[in-house]
């Protein structure tokens, strides 16, 4: 079984027995559609670490098609920055001959879980990020006001 990525194949399952020639192994496809908010442009340069049944893959943002044997698979996704940004773990059933789309959305702030589901997900932590940015703007505005008052 192989993992399909643009331009390369990565061995996904290593078994000691090989199916006989002409034997079809029932497979399905898991399509991971990964995205992040425009409020987090720093994530665009990061890759995603995807673990399918504890086997690691490094993928880019966008859609990645992964061929898997039929069954339930443990899917873990995290932004590959070394700090656990947006980690999420889900069990995803894949049926032979079918394609299962899952949508991953990275959070706006670190130390928050990402979102993974069967429909496009919303960005977690946007309210907290906007509140933080507003607080910084108020603080900078206050410092500018004090500086102007001292100059006058």
137 occurs within a structural domain: no
Domain CATH for 97: 2.60.40.10
- Quote the CA–CA distance of 69 and 60 in Å, as a whole number: 23
23 occurs within a structural domain: yes
139 occurs within a structural domain: no
Structural domain boundaries enclosing 105: 2-124
Domain count of the fold of the chain: 1
129 occurs within a structural domain: no
Each of the 152 residues of the chain gets a pLDDT tens digit; together they read 444 444 444 445 544 445 566 667 789 999 999 999 888 888 899 999 999 998 999 999 999 999 999 999 999 999 988 788 899 999 999 999 999 999 999 998 877 899 999 999 877 766 676 777 788 888 888 888 888 878 87
DSSP 8-state symbol, 24? P
What does residue 46 show for φ and ψ, rounded to 5 degrees?
A: -95, 150
Tens of pLDDT, residues 55-88: 999 999 999 999 999 999 999 999 988 788 899 9
């Amino acid at each position: 079984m192989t993992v399909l990525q643009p331009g390369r194949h990565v061995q996904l399952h290593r078994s000691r027995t090989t199916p006989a020639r002409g034997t079809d192994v029932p497979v399905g496809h898991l399509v991971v559609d990964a995205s992040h908010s425009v409020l987090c442009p720093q994530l665009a340069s990061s890759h995603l670490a995807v673990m399918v049944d504890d086997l690691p893959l490094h993928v880019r943002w966008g859609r990645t098609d992964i061929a898997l044997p039929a069954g339930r698979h443990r899917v873990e996704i995290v932004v590959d920055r070394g700090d656990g940004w947006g980690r999420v773990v889900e069990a995803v059933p894949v049926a032979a001959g079918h394609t299962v789309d899952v949508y991953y959305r990275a959070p706006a702030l670190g130390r928050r879980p990402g979102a993974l589901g069967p429909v496009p997900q919303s960005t977690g932590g946007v309210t907290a990020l906007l509140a933080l940015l507003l607080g910084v703007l108020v603080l900078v505005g206050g410092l500018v006001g004090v500086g102007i008052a001292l100059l006058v």
